[in-house]
Amino acid sequence: MRMRAAVLEEFGQPLVVQELDLAEPKAGEVLVRLVACGVCHTDMYTASGVDPSGYAPTVLGHEGAGVVEAIGEGVSDLAVGDHVVTLFSPQCRECVHCVSPKTNICLAIRDQQGQGHLPDGTTRLSRDGEPIRHFMGTSTFAEYTVMAQIALAKVSPEAPLDRACLFACGLSTGLGAAMYTAKVQEGATVVVFGAGMVGLGAVAGARLQGAERIVCVDLSDERLAMARHQGATDTLIGGADTVDRILEMTGGFGADYTIEATGLVSVMRQAVESARMGWGLATMCGVAGKGETLDIVPRLLITGRRVAGSSFGGVKGRDQVPLLVQRYLDGDIDVDAFLSHRITLDQVNDGFELMEAQDGIRSVIEFGS
Ligand SMILES: NC(=O)c1ccc[n+]([C@@H]2O[C@H](COP(=O)([O-])OP(=O)(O)OC[C@H]3O[C@@H](n4cnc5c(N)ncnc54)[C@H](O)[C@@H]3O)[C@@H](O)[C@H]2O)c1
Ligand SMILES: [Zn+2]
Ligand SMILES: [Zn+2]
């Protein structure tokens, strides 16, 4: 079939919306008609050319939600008409990681996905007979995509897809960091660094876990107001004195849990240093620049602090994204607050500009609009 998609032709250049060919789903694959897709930092990061593993041409986009249009051979978990959220972090339910409750990092299609291929080593995307590589196994800046069935979460048809798409990356990453990686306990004190999509999700996740005190640190008053709306009990403008201020607020000890959602190694260090002696757990969500390292004074670890990293919030996508979406439907998470701008596929580059200007939390592409 022919469909329109936003192609990264050249690093550092605007994406070019154009018609491409999309082949039918093969065994274990699913054709999805995208209804909505968020614009995330990772798309912009890859488009910029800074990511050493990036390639072009490719169709970017990974925060998608849509409707199943066709299924390939052997697809048993999904049927035509199902509402789905795309998963850059798949869940095969069979590999050694999937069967362990300790991690959400599925091993099944990692290599092929990283190379821009579907699991069988080929692409369904092409232009004039030339294969075009997929991105993150999703390529959702497009009217349609073909994806592995293990990379799709079936969600309630009651969830509006322009909200559900946010669970494909940023929101689940934040919620999950608090709920599944840190496993914040009731009554705890939590500090969240950064109040973008991920940090705000972490604030909401800490609230859902029953945290008593949730401190959010950011540079923007506007974003800190959003953090209070999501459940932060205290807010701070970040700076060189952040660790001292958090220690002051916690009787000199630090917080039970700290969650970093900025991507800055200097802030990651603050997250470690403001975790409580004895049992404080510092969870890193941010993606740092290539070659950057996190400095930790080892004494901080010997005296009981722990450091964890969190990819996609530790969320096992097919099992847990539907549960998170259900909590939204139950009224536990205000997702509307994150949807700042609605744009068309042709305006995808405007989505990058809005993100660069920190205008709003998320721009969402609505297809067919
Ligand atoms: N681990 C994963 O699976 C995963 C998934 C999605 C995003 N991410 C990463 O998470 C990070 C956050 O993503 P986002 O979409 O929320 O980004 P964002 O840019 O919207 O938010 C980052 C926030 O950090 C704040 N900030 C900057 N400097 C600060 C400081 N010194 N102290 C406190 N706050 C400060 C900014 O004001 C901003 O509000 C990024 O690095 C992103 O790449 C990781
Ligand atoms: Zn993302
Ligand atoms: Zn797996």
In this predicted model, what pLDDT tens digit does every residue of 54-81 receive, in sequence order? 999 999 999 999 999 999 999 999 999 9
- Identify the active-site residue in 110, 133, 306, 327: 110
Assess whether the C-beta atom of 220 lies below 6 angstroms from ligand 1: yes
Cα separations in angstroms, 318 against 121, 195, 325: 23, 26, 12
Report how far Cα 286 is from the mean position of its chain's Cα atoms.
10
Q: Whose C-alpha lies nearest to ligand 1, atom 13? A: 198
Report how far Cα 185 is from the mean position of its chain's Cα atoms.
23
Cα separations in angstroms, 279 against 246, 256, 265: 16, 7, 22
- Identify the active-site residue in 37, 42, 143, 250: 42
Assess whether the C-beta atom of 197 lies below 6 angstroms from ligand 1: yes
Assess whether the C-beta atom of 314 lies below 6 angstroms from ligand 1: no
Instruction: Determine the distance separating the centroid of ligand 3 and the alpha carbon of 11, expressed in angstroms.
Output: 32
Beta-carbon neighbour count of residue 268 at 10 Å? 26
- 123 labelled catalytic: no
Q: What is the pLDDT of residues 145-187, one digit of tens each?
A: 999 999 999 999 999 999 999 999 999 999 999 999 999 999 9
Q: In this structure, are residues 246 and 254 in contact, taking their beta carbons and an 8 Å threshold?
A: yes
Q: Whose C-alpha lies nearest to ligand 1, atom 21? A: 196
Between the two ends of the chain, the Cα-to-Cα distance in Å is: 20
Which ligand approaches the C-alpha of residue 237 most closely? 1
The reported pTM is 0.97
Return the closest-CA partner of residue 175 out of 334, 65, 341, 351.
334
Instruction: Determine the distance separating the centroid of ligand 2 and the alpha carbon of 240, expressed in angstroms.
Output: 28
**120: burial class by Cβ within 10 Å (0-12, 13-18, 19+)?**
middle
SS3 assignment, position 152: strand
Q: Whose C-alpha lies nearest to ligand 1, atom 9? A: 286
Rounded-to-integer distance, Cα 63 and Cα 364, Å: 9
Q: Which residues contact 251 (CB under 8 A, 6 or more apart)?
A: none
pLDDT reported for residue 289: 85
Q: Tell me the Ramachandran region of residue 124: left when phi exceeds 0, alpha when psi lies from -120 to 50, beta otherwise.
A: alpha
pLDDT tens-digit profile, the chain (369 residues): 999 999 999 999 999 999 999 999 999 999 999 999 999 999 999 999 988 889 999 999 999 999 999 999 999 999 999 999 999 999 999 999 999 999 999 999 999 999 999 999 999 999 999 999 999 999 999 999 999 999 999 999 999 999 999 999 999 999 999 999 999 999 999 999 999 999 999 999 999 999 999 999 999 999 999 999 999 999 999 999 999 999 999 999 999 999 999 999 999 999 999 999 999 999 999 999 888 999 999 999 999 999 999 999 999 999 999 999 999 999 999 999 999 999 999 999 999 999 999 999 999 999 975
Rounded-to-integer distance, Cα 302 and Cα 247, Å: 18
Instruction: Determine the distance separating the centroid of ligand 2 and the alpha carbon of 120, expressed in angstroms.
Output: 24
SS3 assignment, position 310: coil
Tokens 């008593």 correspond to 212
Return the closest-CA partner of residue 36 out of 60, 63, 68.
63
Assess whether the C-beta atom of 170 lies below 6 angstroms from ligand 1: yes
* Preceding peptide of 298 cis, ω within 30°: no
State the closest ligand 1 atom to the C-alpha of 263, by its place in the atom list counted from 1.
41
Which residues lie at CB < 5 A from ion ligand 2? 40, 42, 169
Rounded-to-integer distance, Cα 112 and Cα 121, Å: 6
Rounded-to-integer distance, Cα 301 and Cα 305, Å: 5
- 98 labelled catalytic: yes
What is the per-residue burial (b if ≥16 Cβ within 10 Å, else e) of 302-340? eeebebbebbbbbbbbbebbbebbebbbeeebebeebbe
pLDDT reported for residue 368: 78
- Write out the H or E segment, with its range, that includes residue 199: helix 197-208
- 97 labelled catalytic: no
pLDDT reported for residue 369: 56
